[in-house]
Structure 1
Amino acid sequence: MVAPRNGLWRRTIGILTAAGLLALSGATLATNQSQQRQAGRNANQNAKQQARSNKVDCRAANQKSNSQCRQDKRDTKQGGRQQKRDIKY
């Protein structure tokens, strides 16, 4: 009667080990994705802040018309969006 129980324990331990390894690999994937999302958010926020300060500087210096300053702001923000895409993929 001892032999069947021994086989059952081995199977149970094997199943639990496999389940644990699968759970750990999923956690690693989620961690990498969250780090990429955070880096993308940071890049996007930095680009927005840079665009704001560029527009303020542009308008203060009267180098260009307001529409040209707006276009510069849009271009800066678009560059930040592209940087975010590059980080995530």
Structure 2
Amino acid sequence: MVESKNELWARTAATLTAAGLLALSGASLATNQSQQRQQGRNANQAAKHEARTTKVDCRAADQKSNSQCRQDKRNSKQEGRQQKRDIKY
């Protein structure tokens, strides 16, 4: 009878230990994903700001038509989106 109680405690301890390790590994995965999302957001926001600046500079210099300036802005934003994808994957 004493052996079976010891075995029960050993199994319980092993199960709790395994559950704790599993929970900790999930938490670290969530932290990594959170950091990647934040870096992606930062890259995307920086690209938006750069695109706005590019368009304003383009129109101020009057070197291109408004539609060409819009296209430059779109291209800048698309590059930012690609950077975000590269960070996340």
SS of the residue 1:63 aligns to: coil
Rounded Cα–Cα distance in structure 2 between residues aligned with 1:3 and 1:87? 54
The answer for unaligned runs of 5 or more in structure 2 is none
Amino acid at match of 2:86: D
User: In structure 1, what is the equivalent of residue 7 of structure 2?
Assistant: 7
Offset at residue 3 of structure 1 (A): 2.2
Unmatched runs of 5 consecutive residues or more in structure 1: none
Q: Deviations over 1:21-67 (max 9, x none)?
A: 11111111111111111111110010000000111111111111100
Tell me the CA shift for residue 6 of structure 1. 1.2
Residue in 2 that maps onto 1:85: 85
Could you list the structure 1 runs, at least 4 aligned residues long, displaced by more than 6 angstroms after superposition. none
Matches within 5 A, 1:1-89: 1-89=1-89
TM, length-normalised to structure 1? 0.96
Secondary structure of the 2:40 match is helix
Count of residue pairs the alignment pairs up: 89
Identity %: 79
